[in-house]
């Protein structure tokens, strides 16, 4: 949008530039016999000043006042630099020269704080974090000693998890069954109603099979969580495959009837496409994906090394810091309130480190490694969720594969069927809450629905953070509110609740 500058502002800017040029020209004449090149420098500086003034006068910027101030400052700095370089020292910064030439804000004032670089403050925060965490490390080692034993990476209890490994290896049976169903319907051996029924049976069996295996076997918590995450991914991929194939069949039928004749909706049941989709770092099925030209072997090796390092660091924090805190704490809902708050706050910092390591290992390292091996081109597995101003913005940014799946197969299908936006969002959170509960409660063999209620509690938090953002009109308020709920009131409380419920269940069983 073009902004026309006021005559007064242009006149003032021209006068300032003229005065500066006259001062420099005077200094240049005073030393004309000493330095002959001063006149050419003055001409160059004058031409650059005129160009800047002309740009502002033409109204080429969206915000005239801010751009005018920036151009004034640039012109003044350029003039001072030219004068210093070309004028002898006895003519520079005389006592009679003005030291204050324009209106300026303090660097930390609200009008200028975002125009400054805060790299030094960021370095200060890093130094403070290192100092604080170094003290905590020394205090923890003095109190508990080194808790990482020989069974940290592998122990005899892992041998009992072989049924879970067999279950994981047999899960590809369900995508194969879905492919056979699609192949039969392509040859018109069954009706759409039968196809939908078979897909419902296949997807339900794909999620119930691992649940039954975990509940019947005395497996470790980590092995159970890994299997449930893998099963949930397979379930979501099967839903996407069935839904996309159904939609492609409907579009192909509409083309056959003469509708959308100008668009090519080819429908082909291809086993190679399904096999690639089942291992690709995406949850949304399509016949082809953007592909990279080659595999970067050196880059891939560096990512693998990072994955090993950060996974070990995450396990170290869990064993050395989180386990002692939760073992020495009481149930947060059955003890002193202040004590529960102190435990949650103490747990919040190592829990945040573990969560950030998990995010970096899973979404940045592992998915990129998988994408590199498969030459998968779309690597936008996350966006800048750390800048989220509201809770719903965070859920849209932090896990892009799940977000795209939710939008494609839950949210917009609900809207197309006449369901209001609020109800569609409620259904999306409900589906997410169910799978969060399955991934945690099944490996713990404990159904207290803490994870389910934790996800459903996000809905009032969405309303609250949207209200705060609209009321204060500040990204800082919304972002700080998000981090407060995310780091302090959310995950540490769930960790304590599940830990103590598991301990109480074991105590009752013994």
For the annotated catalytic residues, the residue numbers are 436
**Secondary structure (DSSP) of 219-284:** --HHHHHHHHHHHHHHHHHHHHHHHHHHHHHHHHHHHHTTTTTTS-------HHHHHHHHHSS-SS
A 10 A CB-CB count for 224 gives 24
A 10 A CB-CB count for 412 gives 12
CA dist., res. 174 & res. 183, Å (int): 14
CA dist., res. 337 & res. 238, Å (int): 45
CA dist., res. 223 & res. 212, Å (int): 14
Instruction: Output the six-digit token pair for 205.
Output: 């069996």
Computed on alpha carbons and rounded to an integer, the radius of gyration of the chain in Å comes to 32
Q: At what angle do helices 7-30 and 64-86 cross, to 10 degrees?
A: 0
- Assign 3-class secondary structure to 339-398: HHHHHHHHHHHHHHHHHHHHHHHHHHHHHHHHHHHCCECCCCCCCCHHHCCCHHHHHHHC
- Which residue's structure tokens are 């209106």? 103
């Amino acid at each position: 949008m073009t902004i026309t500058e006021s005559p007064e502002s242009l006149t003032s800017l021209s006068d300032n530039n003229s005065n500066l040029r006259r001062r420099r020209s005077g200094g240049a004449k005073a030393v004309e016999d000493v330095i002959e090149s001063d006149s050419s420098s003055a001409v160059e500086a004058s031409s650059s000043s005129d160009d800047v003034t002309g740009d502002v006068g033409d109204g080429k910027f969206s915000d005239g006042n801010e751009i005018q101030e920036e151009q004034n400052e640039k012109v003044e700095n350029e003039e001072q630099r030219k004068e210093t370089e070309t004028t002898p020292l006895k003519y520079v910064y005389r006592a009679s020269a003005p030291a204050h030439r324009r209106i300026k804000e303090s660097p930390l004032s609200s009008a200028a704080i975002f125009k400054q670089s805060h790299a030094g403050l960021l370095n200060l925060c890093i130094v403070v974090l290192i100092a604080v965490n170094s003290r905590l490390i020394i205090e923890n080692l003095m109190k508990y000693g080194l808790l990482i034993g020989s069974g940290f990476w592998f122990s005899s209890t892992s041998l009992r998890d072989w049924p879970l490994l067999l279950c994981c290896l047999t899960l590809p049976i369900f995508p194969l069954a879905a492919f056979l169903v699609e192949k039969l319907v392509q040859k018109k051996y069954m009706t759409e109603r039968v196809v939908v029924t078979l897909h419902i049976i296949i997807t339900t069996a794909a999620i119930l099979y691992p649940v039954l295996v975990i509940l019947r076997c005395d497996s470790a918590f980590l092995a159970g969580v890994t299997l449930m995450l893998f099963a949930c991914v397979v379930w979501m991929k099967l839903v996407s495959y069935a839904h996309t194939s159904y939609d492609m069949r409907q579009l192909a039928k509409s083309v056959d009837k003469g509708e959308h004749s100008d668009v090519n909706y080819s429908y082909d049941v291809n086993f190679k496409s399904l096999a690639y989709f089942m291992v690709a770092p995406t949850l949304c099925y399509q016949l082809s994906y953007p592909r990279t030209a080659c595999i970067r072997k050196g880059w891939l090796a560096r990512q693998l090394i990072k994955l090993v390092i950060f996974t070990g660091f995450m396990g170290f924090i869990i064993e050395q810091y989180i386990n002692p805190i939760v073992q020495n704490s009481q149930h947060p809902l059955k003890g002193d309130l202040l004590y529960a708050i102190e435990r949650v706050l103490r747990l919040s910092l190592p829990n945040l480190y573990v969560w950030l390591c998990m995010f970096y290992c899973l979404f940045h390292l592992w998915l990129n490694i998988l994408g590199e091996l498969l030459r998968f081109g779309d690597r936008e597995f996350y966006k800048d969720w750390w800048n989220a101003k509201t809770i719903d913005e965070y859920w849209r940014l932090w896990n892009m594969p799940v977000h795209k799946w939710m939008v494609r197969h839950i949210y917009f299908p609900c809207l197309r069927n006449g369901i209001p936006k609020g109800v569609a969002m409620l259904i999306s959170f409900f589906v997410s809450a169910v799978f969060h509960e399955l991934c945690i409660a099944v490996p713990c063999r404990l159904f207290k629905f803490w994870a389910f209620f934790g996800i459903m509690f996000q809905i009032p938090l969405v309303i609250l953070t949207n209200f705060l953002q609209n009321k204060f009109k500040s990204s800082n308020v919304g972002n700080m509110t998000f981090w407060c709920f995310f780091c302090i009131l959310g995950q540490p409380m769930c960790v304590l609740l599940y830990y103590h419920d598991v301990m109480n269940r074991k105590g009752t069983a013994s």
